[in-house]
Structures are given as structure tokens and as C-alpha cells.
Amino acid sequence: MLFTRKALAAVAVTAALSLTACGGSIASQSGGSGGDEITVMSNFTSDVARGQVLDQLITQFNEQNGGKYKVVSKPEADWPTMQSKIKSMISAGNTPDVFLYNYNPNDLSREQSGKLMDWTPYLNADPEWKARFRPENLTAVTQNGQVTGIPGDQAPALVYYHKDLFAKAGVTAFPTTWAEFDTAAQKLKAAGIAPLALQTSDDAWYAMNAFSYLAVSNGGADVYGPGKPLDSPAIVTAAEQMKKLFADSTKDAVGSNYAVASRNFLSGQAAMVIDGPWLISSIRKDVKNPDDVAVAVPPATGDVITDSLNVWGAAQQSDKGKADAVAAWLKFLTSNESAAKMSVQGEYPLAVKTELSDADKAAANTQMQQVIELSGAAPTSVVQMAREIKPAAQAKLPSLLEGLALGSTSPQEFAEQLQAANK
């Protein structure tokens, strides 16, 4: 996510441990006359749209369940700090009632801690609710036959493009194959427009998204999954294609960061960018005619590349009433009505199938409508490469991409070095 590109703040472990209370969670006590109290940890602060919507949903839930359940939000603005704090709390036997965390297949310490609530009986008891989640997401958080979390959100990385710049260059439709993409790119370049905004600094977010789509196009959805060789022919071919994308990008692509690259797109110096839905607020604010920006899935097999899956974990509860309260809240949060509100007003699509009413569609801005529709129609979602490979390979990938752009690393060397780092 965008949040993970911020510098890691100092972790206040002492503050986390001071919340320890009997019963194994930070709000294990009953809420008194307000019923069972549920504390929710997330980065949904009240100064951002998703936080404002979460506060509204909490108020609505509490009003509907007055005297039975009560939800209290405990937001943490800095995402990395919150993730470290959650791990410390779980280790200390003080697992939060409900918390949002970043799923990582290379670190299953939370899922395998034995301290998380098993959602299997609740999902099996409500097949309609279970069907709202992608099977692959539920499989990801299943350990030893137990579903250890509820999929929260999984930001799709889609192409945002200037329709007016396409028209200026004589490109009449968004390309559906990489060959068509290259043809469109050459027309854009001839018109003095960089086709795609890229960057290699920090985590090379834009370049990693593009490379992930290229790799999946060549080798299928599991091309860089756990145990897959990263020096396969599909990866080498993707590296060759990526080198061409760099050659067609802006002159400052090598070495620039997210802020520079996103500005290149927003200002119209680049016709396209592959980013998450958080870009939409900048499009609405900074692009002169924001409705001239459309959203599309890059040329591939229809698969959508996403950021890491964020998951709602919950403390294992010895009190069934408390467990039922937690389940009631998360079923409410992931209901179609709540998901639609979070998507439209919070500009934050949830990882559930969401149908928008005519009123929802009318309220949503142009880009958000398209993001929701494209994400829902995708046959599968595939996590971006950098979130799937091992830490050493993750750290090396940006410099390898930069080497491709500079010509100091060949596509074959790129794949070989990436594979070596992933062992």
C-alpha cells in the first residue's frame, strides 16, 4: 500500500504492552450497560475519508445494537508502527479484539500464533456471507483448517489514463494486448507525450506494478508465487518488455520517487500510470478536467494486480457472547451496504463483492465507479510481485529494475539475480 512507503516510525512497544488486560485482549471486559465492547485497531483515522466513513458505520452499528454490542475505534495513523504494535500485543497475550493487518505469505506468525479467532463456523453458518469473499483470499488466511481472518481490503493497481491525450495522439481505444499497447505508446511518443509514468526510487511502486502485469501475462497468475523460479522464461520475457517500457517513459523515471512520477501523470506529461485508488483524490483535485481520466485493466488475461491483502484479525475469545459480538460487527462492516458506502464515500473498496445501487453510482465519482466495476469483474486477483517474494528479493527488486532501465543489467541477469536473492 501507499502507506508502507513511509519511513518506519519508532515503535512504542511499551505503550502497546501497557494495554494488557486479563482475558487476552485489549477490550476483553464487558461493556457494562452498553453490552460487549469491541475495540477496533486500524489506520482509519478521522481526518481521511475512510476513517470518517468508519466512524459513521460504528455509530450506526452501535445505535442498532444499543445495550447488546458496542464498537470503539482505536486508530493508529502510521501503518508500519501499528503492524509492529499488533505483533507485540499478540506475543504478549494481549491480542486486540479486532485489528487490520497486512497479510504476508512469508510471515505467518499471526496466523499461526494460535491466538486468533477461527471464523470457520461463522462463515459456514452463513453461506451468503462467505460467498462475498474471493475463495483465494479465504484460502490465504486458512491455517490448519481454520480461517484466521476476514479479508478487509486489497487495493487494485489499475491503469489511470488521460482520454484527451489518447485522442490527441490518435489512440482511439485502450489497448487489449501488449502489442497494441506498444503501438499506442509509439503514437503517444510521436505526439510528445510519455506513454507511462514510472519510477525506480523507494520501492519502485509504479515499475513493480507494471512488471507484475507483464509477468502474469507471460506466465500465468502464479508465475512468481511461493516456490516458483524467478529465472523462468516468463520472467525473462517480462524483463525484456519492462526495459522497453522504461525506454518509453519520462526522462526522470530512473531515480524518481512516487511523488515525482505521480505528478508527471497528473500534470499530463505522461498519459498513463498504474496505481491504487488513493490516486483518485489527487485526480479530482489536480487534473483540470478530472472526468477525462478513465480507468482500465492493463493488457493481460483479465487478472487484476493488487496490493497486499489486508485482513481483519480478531482475538480468540473464551466468551462466546464476545465472539458473537465481534462476528456481528465484521458481518455488518462487510455487508453490501457498508462496503458500498466505504467505496463511494470512503474511496476505499473492500475485498468483498459489492453491488452499487443507482444512488451509489450517482454519488461515486467517475474513476471510483470504474475501479469497483473492474475489480468485481476480474476472474482473479494477483498480488503484486514485491509482496509475494522473500524479503531479500523484495529489497533487491527496485535496484534490479533500475539496472534494466539503465542497461547495466540484462533481462537474463535480472532474472538470475532475482532468483538468487529469493532463495
CA distance 261 to 258: 5
Residue indicated by cell numbers 494460535: 114
Let me know whether 182 and 281 are in one domain.
yes
Is 374 a domain residue? no
Look up the CATH number of the domain holding residue 326.
Answer: 3.40.190.10
DSSP for residue 1: -
Question: What is the CB neighbour count within 10 angstroms for residue 277?
Answer: 24
What angle do helix axes 320-333 and 49-64 make, rounded to 10 degrees?
Answer: 130
Is 366 a domain residue? no
Let me know whether 150 and 247 are in one domain.
no
Neighbouring residues of 4: CB distance < 8 A, sequence distance ≥ 6: 79, 80, 102, 203
Residue 168 has pLDDT above 80, yes or no: yes
Q: With residue 314 as reference, give the H or E element that holds it.
A: strand 310-314
Is 333 a domain residue? yes
Let me know whether 133 and 203 are in one domain.
no
Is 361 a domain residue? no
Q: What's the pLDDT tens digit per position in 248-269?
A: 999 999 999 999 999 999 999 9
Q: What's the pLDDT tens digit per position in 306-323?
A: 988 999 999 999 999 999
Let me know whether 391 and 248 are in one domain.
yes
Query: Which residues constitute the domain of residue 87?
Result: 2-154+310-355
Let me know whether 129 and 72 are in one domain.
yes
Q: Is 124 helix (H, G, I), strand (E, B) or coil?
A: helix
Share above pLDDT 90 across residues of the chain, in percent, rounded to a whole number: 71
Let me know whether 47 and 176 are in one domain.
no
Is 373 a domain residue? no
Asked if 209 and 274 count as a contact pair (C-beta separation under 8 A), the reply is yes
Beta strands 146-147; 293-296: pairing state: unpaired
Tell me how many domains the chain contains.
2
CA distance 328 to 348: 21
Task: Give pLDDT, residue 3.
Answer: 37
Task: Give pLDDT, residue 35.
Answer: 60
Q: What's the pLDDT tens digit per position in 46-80?
A: 988 899 999 999 999 999 998 899 999 999 988 87
CA distance 21 to 57: 27
Is 251 a domain residue? yes
Q: What's the pLDDT tens digit per position in 280-311?
A: 988 988 999 999 999 999 998 788 999 889 99
Provide mean pLDDT across the span 393-403. 95
Q: Is 257 exposed, middle or buried (0-12, 13-18, 19+ CB in 10 A)?
A: middle
CA distance 149 to 103: 10
Let me know whether 221 and 301 are in one domain.
yes
Let me know whether 285 and 321 are in one domain.
no
Let me know whether 148 and 176 are in one domain.
no
Is 91 a domain residue? yes
Q: With CA atoms as reference, report the closest residue to 368 among 155, 167, 212.
A: 155
Let me know whether 24 and 124 are in one domain.
yes
Residue type, 388: E
Residue 231 has pLDDT above 60, yes or no: yes
Ranges assigned E (strand) in 17-157 = 36-42, 69-75, 98-102, 142-143, 146-147, 150-153
Let me know whether 324 and 233 are in one domain.
no
Let me know whether 29 and 113 are in one domain.
yes
Is 364 a domain residue? no
pLDDT: which is higher, 363 or 86: 86
Task: Give pLDDT, residue 289.
Answer: 95
Residue 243 has pLDDT above 60, yes or no: yes
